[in-house]
Amino acid sequence: MKIEDLNLEIEKLGRCNVPSPMTKGQFVSDEDRVLYYATLKEAETCIDAGRSLPSFEMAGPREKIYFDPSKLKCGIITCGGICPGLNDVIRAIVLSLHYHYHVNTVFGFRYGYEGISPRHQHTPVELNPKIVADIHEKGGTILGSSRGPQDVSEMVDTLDGRRSLKIGVVGIPKTIDNDISFLDQSFGFETAVSAARPCIYAAHVEAKGARNGVGLVKLMGRESGFISAYAALATSDVNFCLVPEIPFTLERFLPALKEQLERSDHSVIVVAEGAGQDLLNRDSACDASGNLRFGDIGLFLRDEIKAYFQREGVELQLKYIDPSYVIRSVPANPKDSVFCLLLGHNAVHAGMAGRTNMVVGYWDSEYTHVPIPIAVSERKRIDPDGRLWSSVIESTGQPRDLTGSSDKG
């Protein structure tokens, strides 16, 4: 999908005529834009073709806002799997609404979309600065979460039974896998990489401590292997990084592992949960969110590696580590906490300015507004020919091609 074919304009509820109560900070104009292209070559190609440079609306507070804060009620909901930083974002939203815009009524809907569906009868929690004072020090979400859809009409009726209110919907990018398109990063990802590092370190220590020692670590990453790739780069102790975007076969991988062990007596393997799913016998069952249930590639590889070396007559010591739920439950690290705070603030600024059907993005070190239809148009994945994967190959020393009979790169 070409960026020039996409509509990056943000939907608005109406004109902004209300003076902002904010007295501090730097206001942003609607004309302030963040360029999509990061390099001169890309920009020149676009200009030479007679096209306008694609750009995102810049996030930030506006001098004039759409909603009258004295009449406004706001709601917060957390959906899907938990990840580091959820409580930081909740806290940032509540504090910004209260101190920046003097909005006194903020509801937290319990357990995801269930909280807006009357059939589940979850009572909303009224949030204020006192309640959220220290929640950023804890993992998870104080509101709870759930997977799966609810009846849209019922949820709209919960928010506005007469269907007469203007309601702004602003999203904040929550996915530990960092797989949302047109965003450089989603919150929780950096903390996940940081939390994965000690697990890889432990696998490396175990592998080095035994003759023909192998440390195998399975990390999160259903269809995008960014956590595994960055964690491998962060430690520089990984010899094989297996991700969903790059296919591999046992016929190529296992001999390559044997060759690597012959060179250095130990090996560390990091595998993303969605890697190698074509090698597993799995059914077509889906979870509540509609995601295909994956087989356990970690256990599969553990058993296949042991069986292969037994057939080869090589004694092997393999330690398997699966820290998935430990990683997603930790509190955000300091840098992620800053990121969550600013995402939350910018979500509030966008909502107060009447923006809707959008998600707060982060692009080229600037906070942006991204239309939700664009953000979900395709999943962000590692480019097998891109710089990130080339860096992983350079760091691990693994063959670029793990499907053929020889190393092509």
pLDDT of residue 280: 87
pTM for this predicted structure: 0.92
pLDDT at 287 over 80: no
CA-CA-CA-CA torsion for 349, 109, 340, 245, nearest 10 degrees?
A: -110
**For the segment 300-347, what is each residue's pLDDT rounded down to a tens digit?**
999 999 999 999 999 999 999 999 888 999 999 999 999 999 999 999
Please, which pLDDT band fits residue 408 given cuts at 50, 70 and 90? very low
pLDDT at 365 over 60: yes
Catalytic option among 5, 134, 157, 177? 177
Of 59, 102, 85, 210, which is closest to residue 139 (Cα–Cα)?
85
- Domains, the chain, ranges and CATH? 68-186+332-338 (3.40.50.450), 193-328+384-396 (3.40.50.460)
CA dist 383 → 297, 318, 387, 406 (Å): 21, 31, 8, 21
Cross-strand pairs, 214: 267, 318
- Tens digit of pLDDT for each residue in 162-198? 788 899 999 999 999 999 999 999 999 999 999 999 9
CB neighbour class for 160 (10 Å; exposed up to 12, middle 13-18, buried from 19): exposed
Residue 52: pLDDT over 50: yes
177 noted as active-site residue: yes
Q: Three-state SS for 56?
A: strand
For all residues of the chain together, what is the average pLDDT?
Answer: 92
- Backbone φ and ψ for 359, nearest 5 degrees, come out as -125, 145
For residues 273 and 324, what is the distance between their CA atoms, to the nearest angstrom? 9
